[in-house]
């Protein structure tokens, strides 16, 4: 279930002449029985609403006075979200002969008195705004609208605006309908509102709401094509057009060799979604995502051994804020620990998705760590049928076949990598010309490949957009994480008399400071250090710098230069020192 809330305007939408028809309430009750919440959102003064709406206790929350007041029918608590305009303003309206009424916050009058109201605001130098609702003129503090009130209500429910359906009919409904996941207008809505929404009902007022309610119960399945039209831009094609991906599109896979741009592409996808207010959760086995902490709205958490339960609870709390996306760094864990932690986190995430519809996308980097061919705990918790899954790996052949089978699209930063993937996916090779389009991909390019059942793969070549945050490749993994035994550096010395093992750059630095001069020069001048940096740390630039240092003969100078070069590129080590 994606849509968890239905937010309804009152007059002209739910109600006719101030009264909601019994059959409309029955339709709303059916929405409630489907597990969804119902919000009432109105420009009416709160006390007036209480007088005309006998069924106000039915609603989960009520936003009144055009976003200035929020009421919880269950606790009977009513809260003002802004201060009432000053008494001097009311006296000025009286002096100008403007008829008005007041609510807890709102000041209301009717057309054509808006000119006098505006003159009163200007003459007193007040920060007030005028909002129209057909013949009504509402005066509210700046920044207060149905949209601001709805956001307050959804925050209290722990639900995103993107998981909300809204319906209205008048000018003051523009603001909140522009910020929901699906917007509807009843048939009697003003033309400018009807022109903006996703659906205009066939019937007016309550009958239109009843039509919408039936669609909401089916999670708007009939409007899937409309929802697929909502996209994020990932780059540009050869003809200069945008390369986009549907926010409600199929699960996808990002593949390519190490260092070819997979993380760049994934980072663009995450950043664009976060900028549009979607909630994202990145599970990062290798520590690649730490730069996302520089992006507003993203929090990076590190999972240490033994902290799974506490971290899962923290993830749940943070994601329920709706304005927060999370990246979970698992690089400090061993392989089996990563699988166990990933399973626990996926369980918490999928439970939250069932309750709220978010996080909207789950990104699993280095996915072959969590979903090996043998299956396991993490795979059982993935639930790819719920959608919104992105898997990133340079070893797609090491992924579980069941997980691969749930992928409907592939992004590849290498033509060769995609051609190797086709047999793994059970697809016939695609003609080379369709893939090559001018040869192997250049730096910054990628393939976008749609995998429709029963049809050839639809391939497009594009240049990936620039990221807003700088990608830091495996910084924590290589600095302080634990490399597998076969990838660790061993100080043995010229006579094979030592066996000191460095599991990461931090321990390499510490051991290098302590070994004798002969041992240090032996490994440096033999190229062992540069080879380890190049092949196991996979940092060709640092390896080249150390190759240049290796020609020196002074153990003190070469040792200092090597360790300074490592510290410059891996700030976690520099900070530790």
In a domain, 119, yes or no: yes
User: How many Å apart are CA 22 and CA 240, to the nearest integer?
Assistant: 55
**pLDDT, position 575:** 45
Identify whether residues 500 and 366 lie together within a single domain: no
Residue 527 within any structural domain of the chain: yes
Which pLDDT score, from 0 to 100, does residue 149 have? 96
Q: Which residue has the higher pLDDT, 128 or 416?
A: 128
Residue 185 lies in a domain: yes
Q: Omega into 359 within 30° of 0, i.e. cis?
A: yes
State yes or no: pLDDT of 316 exceeds 80: no
Mean pLDDT within 421-442:
62
Number of domains the chain contains: 4
Do 443 and 333 fall into the same domain? yes
Q: What is the CATH number of the domain that holds 438?
A: 3.40.50.300
Q: Which of 367, 369, 371, 358 is nearest to 326 (CA)?
A: 358
In this structure, the answer to whether residues 29 and 155 fall within a common structural domain is yes
What H or E segment, with its residue span, contains residue 546?
Answer: helix 540-549
Whether residue 338 sits in one domain with residue 221: no
What's the rounded Cα separation, in Å, for the pair 18 and 40?
Answer: 13
- Domain-located, residue 528: yes
What's 398-420 look like in SS3?
HCCHHHHCCCCEEEECCHHHHHH
Nearest 5°: phi and psi at 20? -90, 130
CB 237 within 8 Å of CB 462: yes
The SS3 assignment for 361 reads strand
56: CATH: 3.40.50.1000
The model's confidence at residue 314, banded by pLDDT at 50, 70 and 90, is confident
Residue 469 lies in a domain: no
The Cα angle at residue 99 between residues 189 and 42, in degrees rounded to 5: 35
The domain boundary residue, chosen from 228, 252, 271? 228
pLDDT of residue 227: 87
- Give the residue numbers spanning the domain of 214: 1-77+145-228
Domain end, chosen from 432, 464, 496, is at 464
Q: Report which of residues 421 and 204 the model is more confident about.
A: 204
96: domain CATH number is: 3.90.1070
Residue where one domain finishes, among candidates 91, 117, 143: 143
Q: What is the pLDDT confidence band of residue 22, given thresholds at 50, 70 and 90?
A: very high
Residues 102 and 136 in one domain: yes
> Are 313 and 389 part of one and the same domain?
yes
Q: At residue 273, does pLDDT exceed 60?
A: yes
**Are 487 and 535 members of one domain?**
yes
Query: Which of 325-339, 364-378, 460-474 is least confident?
Result: 460-474
pLDDT digits (tens, 9 = 90+) for 108-124: 999 999 999 999 999 99
- Whether 397 is covered by a domain: the verdict is yes
Q: Examine the domain organization and report whether 302 and 405 are in the same domain.
A: yes
Residue 470 inside a domain? The answer is: no
Q: Is there a single domain that holds both residue 531 and residue 448?
A: no
Task: Please check whether residues 138 and 166 belong to one and the same domain.
Answer: no
496 within some domain = yes
Q: Where are the beta strands (DSSP E) in 310-368?
A: 325-329, 361-364
Is residue 165 domain-shared with residue 183, that is, in the same domain?
yes
Are 454 and 501 found together in one domain? Answer: no
91-103 pLDDT, tens digit per residue, is 999 999 999 999 9
Helices (H), 164-261: 174-177, 191-194, 205-217, 224-228
| pLDDT tens by residue, 368-422 | 888 988 888 888 888 888 899 999 998 888 888 889 989 999 999 988 888 888 7
Higher pLDDT among residues 315 and 572, named by residue: 315
Show the beta-strand stretches assigned E in 65-216: 69-72, 77-80, 101-102, 107-110, 128-133, 136-141, 164-168, 182-185, 199-200
282 contacts 327 by C-beta, under 8 angstroms: yes
């Amino acid at each position: 279930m994606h849509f968890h809330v239905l937010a309804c305007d009152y007059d002209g939408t739910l109600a006719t002449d101030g009264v909601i028809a019994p059959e409309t309430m029955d339709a709303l009750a059916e929405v409630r029985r489907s597990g969804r919440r119902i919000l009432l959102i109105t420009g009416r003064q709160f006390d007036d609403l209480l007088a005309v709406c006998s069924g106000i206790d039915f609603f989960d929350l009520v936003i009144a006075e055009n976003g200035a007041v929020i009421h919880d029918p269950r606790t009977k608590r009513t809260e003002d979200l802004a201060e009432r305009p000053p008494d001097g303003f009311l006296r000025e309206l009286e002096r100008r002969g403007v008829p008005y009424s007041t609510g807890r916050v709102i000041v209301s009058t009717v057309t054509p008195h808006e000119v006098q109201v505006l003159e009163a605001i200007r003459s007193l130098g007040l920060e007030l705004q005028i909002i129209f609702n057909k013949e009504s003129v509402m005066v509210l503090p700046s920044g207060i609208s149905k949209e601001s009130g709805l956001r307050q209500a959804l925050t209290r429910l722990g639900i995103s605006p993107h998981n909300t359906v809204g319906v209205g009919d008048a000018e003051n409904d523009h603001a909140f309908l522009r910020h929901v996941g699906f917007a509807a207008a009843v048939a009697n809505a003003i033309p400018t509102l009807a022109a903006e929404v996703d659906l205009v009902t066939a019937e007016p007022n309550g009958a239109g709401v009843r039509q919408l309610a039936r669609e909401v119960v089916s999670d708007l399945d009939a409007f899937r094509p409309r929802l697929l039209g909502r996209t994020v831009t990932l780059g540009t094609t050869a003809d200069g057009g945008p390369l986009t991906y549907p926010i409600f599109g199929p699960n996808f896979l990002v593949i390519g060799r190490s260092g070819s741009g997979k993380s760049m592409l994934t980072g663009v996808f995450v950043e664009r979604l976060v900028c549009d207010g979607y909630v994202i959760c990145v599970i990062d086995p290798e520590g690649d995502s730490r730069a996302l902490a520089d992006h507003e709205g993203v929090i990076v958490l590190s999972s240490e051994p033994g902290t799974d339960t506490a971290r899962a609870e923290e993830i749940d709390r943070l994601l329920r804020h709706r304005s927060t996306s999370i990246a979970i760094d698992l690089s400090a864990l061993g392989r089996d620990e990563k699988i166990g932690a990933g399973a626990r986190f996926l369980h918490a995430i999928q439970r939250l998705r069932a309750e709220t519809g978010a996080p909207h996308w789950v990104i699993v980097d280095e996915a072959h760590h969590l979903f090996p061919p043998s299956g396991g705990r993490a795979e059982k918790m993935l639930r790819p049928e719920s959608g919104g899954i992105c898997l990133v790996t340079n070893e797609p052949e090491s992924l579980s076949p069941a997980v691969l089978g749930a992928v409907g699209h592939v992004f590849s930063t290498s033509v060769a990598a995609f051609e190797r993937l086709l047999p793994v996916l059970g697809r016939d090779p695609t003609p080379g010309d369709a893939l090559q389009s001018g040869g192997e991909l250049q730096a910054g390019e990628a393939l976008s490949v749609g995998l429709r059942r029963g049809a050839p793969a639809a391939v497009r070549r594009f240049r990936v957009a620039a990221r807003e945050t700088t990608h830091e490749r495996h910084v924590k993994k290589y600095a302080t994480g634990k490399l597998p035994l076969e990838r660790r550096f061993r100080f043995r010395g010229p006579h094979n008399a030592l066996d000191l093992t460095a599991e990461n750059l931090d321990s390499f630095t510490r051991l290098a400071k302590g070994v004798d001069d002969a041992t240090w020069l032996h490994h440096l001048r033999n190229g062992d250090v540069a080879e380890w940096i190049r092949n196991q740390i996979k940092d060709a630039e640092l390896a080249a710098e150390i190759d240049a240092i290796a020609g020196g003969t002074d153990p003190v100078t070469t040792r200092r230069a090597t360790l300074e070069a490592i510290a410059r590129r891996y700030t976690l080590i520099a900070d530790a020192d």
